[in-house]
Amino acid sequence: TLTSGDFFGEIALVQDIERTATVRAQGDVRILSLTREVFLAMAEEVETPTEEVLSQVRNAAFVRSHRFFATLSTVQLRQVLSRLTERSVPSNEIVVTQGESGDSLFLIREGSCVVDHKSDDGETHRVATLTGGEHFGEIALMADGVRTATVKTEADTVLLEIPDDVFKDVLLSNFEAVSQLDRGCSDRLDLLEVL
């Protein structure tokens, strides 16, 4: 189910393929459309590969729909988008390691990750499986800068990495985002204390 700010049909902008799904309005909807010809002409004008432009479109739509960023102003959103890094990570690769210092927040745009925590008795516990739309790394940024768990990709995954300075400059200056972060951190830390 798509709502304001979401998009569909983006693959058709760069590939000549048949539609892979049917999209139906659930009421009155105002839609903006962009043809492939216009899109390719725009991409050529800015001298940017079409795949890169498409990736930026996906990132913008994803970030804007994420609960941490939903209430950001256009200027703040632009700051985030201009300074995040898109990372394609293959399956079974460690992204962050428990005990290491952490200076970025990760959003999972596509794929999945598993979260493991080693308790004081040396046992490793599977804490969670995270999928598209979820995040990790915020505890280190809001607490003492140390990763509280090890996160490894479970499948080929696309991550959006948001550096510490953007996190502090943009997210921590937005009350609603701070409230969302605080609730999430508390829940995750409570879970770790049980282990």
* 1-39 residue pLDDT tens: 887 777 788 777 766 778 878 999 999 999 999 888 888
Across the range 31-50, mean pLDDT stands at 82
Does 159 score more than 90 pLDDT? yes
Other beta carbons within 10 angstroms of residue 46's beta carbon come to 8
**Three-class DSSP category at 182:** helix
**Three-class DSSP category at 191:** helix
The string of pLDDT tens digits covering residues 67-102 is 777 777 778 888 888 899 999 999 999 999 999 999
Cβ atoms of 8 and 22 within 8 Å: the answer is: no
What's the pLDDT at 157?
97
Does 152 score more than 60 pLDDT? yes
What's the pLDDT at 138?
85
Q: How far apart are CA 155 and CA 94, in angstroms?
A: 11
Cβ atoms of 146 and 191 within 8 Å: the answer is: no
pTM of the model: 0.72
Higher pLDDT, 42 or 153: 153
Q: How far apart are CA 130 and CA 114, in angstroms?
A: 6
